[in-house]
Amino acid sequence: MSFVRFLARPMLASSFVLAGIDKLKNADDTAAQLSPLLRRTADALPFQTNEKVLARVIGGTQIGAGVCFALGKSARLAATILAVISALNGYVEWRSADISSKEARDARRKQLLKNVSLTGGVLLAAVDTAGKPSLAWRAGHLAADARKSAGHLAADARKTTNKKLKKADKVVRRAADRAAGA
């Protein structure tokens, strides 16, 4: 792991871990923020939702993914989970923010920008391959190498076949010449 990743991952993860701890401590507040969103989606979900339990699950997931990301363990998966949670948090906080005054609207906008920035940061981390080629790149190059090898094998087979045909042609001509001379 590079020195920058060594420092940057815990720095980025700290916000998520602290927010997750806050969600666990204040599950009632988080449940109140989630309630309007869950009321609209409750019909589409195949199970009964409990806002307080969901708030704790989100907080625990945020802490777990944040710690994994900070330690570099399954960092891309953890970053992807954090990106989803960050986008969800941004939406929920935007919808539940107070907009009764100019200061409240400014605070709402700043919170949205913070959430968008964090989401962007963990999205970048989710696609970071730490200098190693991605699976898509590896698969593409493996396929190109296989095509190249197959082309070389086909060329070798044509050469060998042509040599054998020429040799067989010579043998047949000699046999025909001998039969004609006899």
pTM, full prediction: 0.64
C-alpha 84/C-alpha 57 separation (Å) is 14
CB 65 within 8 A of CB 78: yes
C-alpha span between 161 and 158 (Å, rounded):
5
pLDDT of residue 177: 84
In the 8-state DSSP scheme, what is residue 99?
A: -
- pLDDT for the residue 42: 67
How many Cβ atoms sit within 10 Å of the Cβ of residue 85? Answer: 23
Report the pLDDT value the prediction gives residue 51, as an integer from 0 to 100.
80
Report pLDDT for 181: 77
Q: What is the pLDDT of residue 182?
A: 67
Tokens of 13: 């993860």
Q: How far are the Cα atoms of 24, 64, 142, 159 from residue 153, in angstroms, in the given order?
A: 62, 51, 16, 10
DSSP state of 49: -
pLDDT of residue 171: 87
Give me the pLDDT at residue 69, please. 92
Q: How far is CA 12 from CA 99, 102, 182, in A?
A: 29, 30, 94
Residues of the chain with pLDDT under 70: 1, 42, 130-135, 137, 182
